[in-house]
Amino acid sequence: MKQMRKLVQTHEFVLFILVVLLCVAMGMKNPLFWSLGNVFDLLKSSVTLGLLALGVLVILISGDIDISFPAIAAFSMYVTCLIAQATGLGDHIAILFGMAAATGGLLGVFNAVFIHFFRLPALIVTLGTASLIRGGLLAFVGTRIITDLPESMVTFSRAQLFRQQLPGGETIGLAGSIFILVGVALLVQFLLKHTLLGRGIYALGGAPEAARRAGFNIRRIRFFIFALVGCLAGVVGIIHASNMRNANPFDLSGLELTVIAAVVVGGADITGGKGTVIGTLLGTLLLVIIGNSLILMGLPSQWHKVAVGAIIIVSAGMVAWRRRLGRNSGSGK
């Protein structure tokens, strides 16, 4: 009973109810919402957003922020595709993922150098690197859209589960990339809850000085988390290009706000030390559903920006309010 009550009070539970209510409401308004095709589409769109959100979750838990990951994703995607095109490497999708993740990871390390060694605020550093990476990509690497992607990427994007033929002749299926999201989510969950490094990330976010004195290697933690976000951004870049069937260096911009909204809705606090994988996944789902509903309801796309902004503010306000309640009620919870 007590456990039951505890569960009901969690942020994740409230969020879960919200997602369910939204789904029911949308389903009543537009029966198309519950069609298998739309559900598969929703899950497919959740993959890229969810992967980035998991990376940002780790960053927010450690008390920092990163807004350069869309630029990193675009850079890794484009450079990997260029290399694959030039060398013919990439007959296997894993090689492409590896290259993109490595590129992204290196760029993440670049962020970490400024943030850790020069003790500069992460927001401004990543604002700078985002401009540098995107500008560098477009000015010096190229602006041409690559359309002849390696065969392996096309095959990858066609991989589907539960494939079935609709009466109309259209085939639908669940995108295979969902496995990547599930796998990464499990890994991040394991990392955060069951490894020393994960406990260090929470400790760093809760109280950096205390974490240092407790013997955590702050440098290693910081470099790890920024490299992790970079790697995930690289992977997202390849998934994105596969889905689009082309590599467009202008793509993936402005994504940072949606991702941060998803993580903050999920209950993570930018002051650090708080946030869960399950909350982040639910937050991602909520944002994807809201984006989808706006389209199904026929609202112009301009409203999407307003919705994302409002979600960030309302959920950040709620998280801050909980924080204050926790503080006022003393050392209790």
Q: Count of alpha carbons within 13 Å of 82, Cβ hemisphere only?
A: 15
Q: Sort residue 10 into left (φ over 0), alpha (ψ -120 to 50) or beta.
A: beta
CB 8 to another protein: min, Å: 25
Of 130, 139, 173, 154, which Cα lies nearest the Cα of 238? Answer: 154
Span near another protein by CB under 8 A; candidates 44-52, 115-123, 176-184, 217-225: 115-123
Task: Find the binder of another protein among 106, 109, 132, 191 (CB under 8 A).
Answer: 132
- Alpha carbon 175 to its chain centroid, in Å, reads 17
CB 215 to another protein: min, Å: 19
Task: Find the binder of another protein among 154, 214, 313, 325 (CB under 8 A).
Answer: 313
Taking CB under 8 A as the rule, does residue 219 contact another protein? no
Single-letter residue type at 169: G
Taking CB under 8 A as the rule, does residue 316 contact another protein? yes
- Sign of the CA dihedral with 219 first, then 220, 222, and 227 last: positive
Q: Contact, 252 vs 1, CB < 8 A?
A: no
CB 307 to another protein: min, Å: 8
Site string for another protein, 3-42 (x = CB under 8 A): ----------------------------------------
Dihedral angle computed from the Cα positions of residues 190, 196, 202 and 206, in that order, rounded to the nearest 10 degrees = 170
Taking CB under 8 A as the rule, does residue 140 contact another protein? yes
Task: Find the binder of another protein among 19, 39, 42, 120 (CB under 8 A).
Answer: 120
Span near another protein by CB under 8 A; candidates 99-107, 177-185, 229-237, 319-327: 319-327
The token pair that represents 179 in the structure block: 């496995």
Task: Find the binder of another protein among 8, 124, 182, 210 (CB under 8 A).
Answer: 124
SS3 of 50, please? helix
Size of the residue set binding another protein (CB under 8 A): 50
Residue the block writes with tokens 């026929």: 298
- Alpha carbon 209 to its chain centroid, in Å, reads 28
Taking CB under 8 A as the rule, does residue 259 contact another protein? no
CB 268 to another protein: min, Å: 10
Distant-in-sequence, close-in-space partners of 178: CB < 8 Å, separation ≥ 6: 43, 44, 46, 47, 161
Task: Find the binder of another protein among 131, 147, 164, 165 (CB under 8 A).
Answer: 131
Task: Find the binder of another protein among 114, 156, 223, 224 (CB under 8 A).
Answer: 114
Task: Find the binder of another protein among 79, 264, 277, 281 (CB under 8 A).
Answer: 264
Q: Contact, 82 vs 197, CB < 8 A?
A: no
Of 292, 285, 281, which Cα lies nearest the Cα of 56? Answer: 281
Task: Find the binder of another protein among 18, 218, 257, 294 (CB under 8 A).
Answer: 257
**Gap between the terminal Cα atoms of the chain:** 19
Taking CB under 8 A as the rule, does residue 133 contact another protein? yes
Report the residue number, 58 or 133, with the smaller CB distance to another protein. 133
Site string for another protein, 269-308 (x = CB under 8 A): -xx----------------------------x-xxxxxxx
CA distance 201 to 63: 9
| Exposure string for 18-37, b = 16+ CB within 10 A, e = fewer | ebeebbeebeeeeeebeeee
Residues that bind another protein (CB under 8 A): 65, 114, 118-121, 123-125, 127-140, 143, 208, 257, 260-261, 264, 270-271, 300, 302-313, 316-317, 320-321, 323-324
